[in-house]
A = this chain, B = another copy of it.
Amino acid sequence: MTAAEAPRRRPLSDPGLVDDLAEQIHASIRSGDYPIGTWLRQEALATAFGVSRTPVREALRKLQADRIVEVFPHRGALVRGPTAVDLRETYQIRAELEGLAAELAAARITDEQLRTLREAEAALRAAMDELRAFVATRGTGAVRSGPWDVADLAFRDALLDACGVERLQRMAGELRDAFPRNLVWSTLAEEPSLLDESIAQRERVRAAIERHDPVAARRWMTDHLRRTGTLVAEAFERRQAVEDAPDPRDIRARLGRPTPG
């Protein structure tokens, strides 16, 4: 409306608006803007992204199919969070898929891709130092997205890219994005030695790929992910245990009640 508003927003035709929308909402969930367990209100999303509810609903259906949100009829869409078993299962499967990717990459990787992989590893080392510094000052709780995340993603993408199996790239990527990534970093950063271990594991993978040793590449990659999965799941269980403890609010409520005057 608002009269004389001729220069309609560019239709942005290429990818299709709904696909964009789904990706943006997904990104907002990953970044933590819409925390786990919150309701996604269609009207709120619509106004936030400047569209009507119709494309929002279609986008939510896509996210439902990808298990990012859970849709309850006549209630709304809930941001799904992983359970401890979810984490274990996901890492177990990722270990298989990315293990296969490493095996294939060891056989097929080009020099160009290998260079990218090495650069990503170097960036990862630097990022680990940054993460250590970050945690030293602000603690593990405040860990969000950062260079560590970017570098980790670059390393995996380089490897998946080198394996040359498109469906494998997509499936592994979806598993990686199945839950907020800061879980991993806040877990590993709790114990600085784990960061070194994680780097060392990846180094072994890179070395195996470098010398075109498929068997070793797969072996080290699966080991790496199984180990990480165990650590993350255990840390998650500890956190859950704390959160499931008697709710402080109950105590406050009960204390605040007796004889108000």
A18 to B64, CA, bound (A): 11
Binds B, one of A44-52, A55-63, A111-119, A206-214: A55-63
Neighbouring B residues of A57 by C-beta, 8 Å: 58
Neighbouring B residues of A92 by C-beta, 8 Å: 100, 165, 168
Between-chain CB contacts (< 8 Å), 7 pairs: A19-B71, A63-B65, A65-B65, A89-B165, A89-B166, A93-B165, A96-B96
Identify the A interface with B (CB < 8 A): 13-19, 54, 57-59, 61-66, 71, 73-74, 86, 89-90, 92-93, 96-97, 99-100, 165-168, 171
Neighbouring B residues of A63 by C-beta, 8 Å: 65
Task: Name A's interface SS.
Answer: helix
Interchain CB contact under 8 A, B61 and A18: yes
Q: Nearest B residue to A90 by beta-carbon distance?
A: B167
Q: Nearest B residue to A166 by beta-carbon distance?
A: B89
A97 to B100, CA, bound (A): 10
Neighbouring B residues of A90 by C-beta, 8 Å: 167
Give which listed residue, B16, B54, B59, B61, contacts A59 with CB less than 8 A.
Answer: B61
CB distance from A170 to the nearest CB of B (A): 9
CB distance from A232 to the nearest CB of B (A): 15
Interchain CB contact under 8 A, A16 and B168: no
Q: Which interface residue of A73, A97, A168 has the most chain B CB atoms within 10 A?
A: A73
Neighbouring B residues of A171 by C-beta, 8 Å: 93, 171
A171 to B94, CA, bound (A): 12
Q: Which interface residue of A17, A59, A61 has the most chain B CB atoms within 10 A?
A: A61
Neighbouring B residues of A61 by C-beta, 8 Å: 18, 58-59, 61-62, 65
